[in-house]
């Protein structure tokens, strides 16, 4: 079971003076139970790609497949695809709308026709998965902190029990503690068999947690490989606006000075190469 794109292309406002090619010839595949990151600078096409995976946008060129079902207009499978692929937007305020956190999280299962007597269990499980405190249930989602809003948005998607979770820049605006909480949550969901797609400009997170990474630049595909291979490619072929992690830059600088160290983003690996096991 996987999400697969073949030569995906999308153009905004075609045939007008505002015509913009957002994606061109994008191909990739990732399985359930894996973490796939899409990295690139602002305007590279990351968010446009993410919105194709559950049918918010439909391919103008190429195909997108979710567990063997094609994402296309008037497809009988489109509703099931949208249940399978949960999308969390970059800014939770764009996703939250209900009067209480409970109603926010309950909306998706209600929309999918889950019996009302099963809704509380769905809500409690989603809150637990997202790490949201039960005392938030009766609060307005708009009165939550930034980190709590992010958790509420994730819980509102998890309540529909998706097979894949797509997150658009989920760490934007979070402090280091909230970032660590979020990545720990995603690691746990992956271990439970959920497919994770992370849209990010933060290569540090992408390299640390991903099973594979797709790098975009100006709507085109730069590289799609495992993290170490992506790091090596970007070190040799820098992409404007996509900064290598500090440890990777340090290891690259040491290599240029003749030091026998690996190109790595991991401090432990670099420290061992420099000073040996201690």
* Segment 218-247 mean pLDDT: 94
Nearest to 199 by CA among 238, 152, 164: 164
Residue 264 belongs to some domain of the structure = no
Mean pLDDT along residues 244-265: 91
Q: What is the pLDDT of residues 48-106, one digit of tens each?
A: 999 999 999 999 999 999 999 999 887 778 889 998 999 998 877 778 889 899 999 99
What pLDDT was estimated at residue 36?
Answer: 98
- CATH code of residue 83: 3.40.50.300
pLDDT at 199: 96
Give the total number of structural domains in the chain. Answer: 1
DSSP for 178-214 reads HHHHHHHHHHHHHHTT-EEEEEES-HHHHHHH-SEEE
Asked if residue 271 belongs to a domain, the reply is no
**For residue 186, how many C-alpha atoms fall within 13 Å in the half-sphere facing its CB?**
31
Mean pLDDT is lowest, of 3-7, 111-115, 273-277, for: 273-277
Answer whether residue 265 is part of any domain. no
| Percent residues over pLDDT 90 in the chain | 65
Residue 150: predicted pLDDT: 86
Span 2-52, pLDDT tens digits: 999 999 999 999 989 999 999 999 999 999 999 999 999 988 999 999 999
Q: Which of 206, 205, 148, 142 lies closest to 174, judged by CA?
A: 148
DSSP state letter for 268: H
CA distance linking residue 191 with residue 33, whole number of Å: 6
259 in a domain, yes or no? Answer: no
Look at residues 264, 232, 233 and name the one whose alpha carbon lies nearest to residue 248.
264
pLDDT digit string (tens) for 114-140? 999 999 999 999 998 888 888 888 999
Domain that holds residue 210: 2-226
CA distance 204 to 209: 9
pLDDT at 85: 95
- Which residue pairs from 67-70 have beta carbons closer than 8 angstroms and sit at least 24 positions apart in sequence? 67/1, 67/2, 67/3, 67/163, 68/1
Residue 191 located in a structural domain: yes
pLDDT tens digit string along 145-202? 888 888 899 999 999 999 999 999 988 877 888 888 889 999 999 999 999 999 999 9
What's the mean pLDDT in 227-245?
Answer: 93
Using CA atoms, how far apart are residues 27 and 232, in angstroms rounded to an integer?
20
Burial class (CB in 10 A: 0-12, 13-18, 19+), 199: buried
Query: Residue 278's pLDDT is what?
Result: 56
């Amino acid at each position: 079971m996987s999400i697969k794109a073949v030569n995906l292309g999308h153009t905004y406002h075609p045939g007008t003076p505002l015509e913009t090619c957002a994606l061109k010839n994008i191909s990739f595949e990732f399985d359930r139970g894996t973490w796939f990151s899409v990295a690139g600078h602002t305007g590279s096409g990351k968010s446009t790609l993410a919105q194709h995976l559950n049918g918010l946008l439909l391919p103008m060129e190429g195909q997108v497949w979710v567990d063997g079902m094609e994402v296309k207009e008037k497809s009988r499978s489109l509703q099931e695809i949208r249940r399978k692929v949960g999308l969390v937007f970059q800014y939770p305020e764009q996703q939250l709308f209900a009067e209480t956190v409970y109603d926010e999280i309950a909306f998706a299962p209600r929309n999918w026709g889950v019996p009302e007597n099963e809704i509380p269990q769905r809500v409690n499980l989603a809150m637990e998965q997202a790490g949201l405190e039960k005392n938030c249930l009766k609060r307005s989602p708009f009165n939550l902190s930034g980190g709590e809003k992010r958790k509420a948005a994730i819980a509102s998607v998890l309540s529909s029990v998706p097979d894949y979770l797509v997150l658009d820049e989920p760490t934007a605006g979070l402090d280091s503690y909230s970032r660590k909480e979020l990545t720990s949550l995603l690691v746990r969901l992956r271990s439970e068999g959920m497919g994770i797609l992370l849209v990010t400009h933060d290569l540090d997170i992408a390299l640390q947690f991903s099973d594979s990474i797709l790098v975009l630049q100006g709507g085109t595909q730069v590289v799609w490989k495992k993290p170490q291979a992506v790091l090596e490619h970007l070190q040799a072929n820098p992409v404007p606006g996509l900064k290598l992690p500090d440890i990777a830059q340090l290891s690259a600088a040491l290599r240029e000075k003749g030091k026998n160290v690996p190109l790595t983003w991991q401090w432990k690996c670099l420290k061992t190469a420099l000073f040996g096991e201690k």
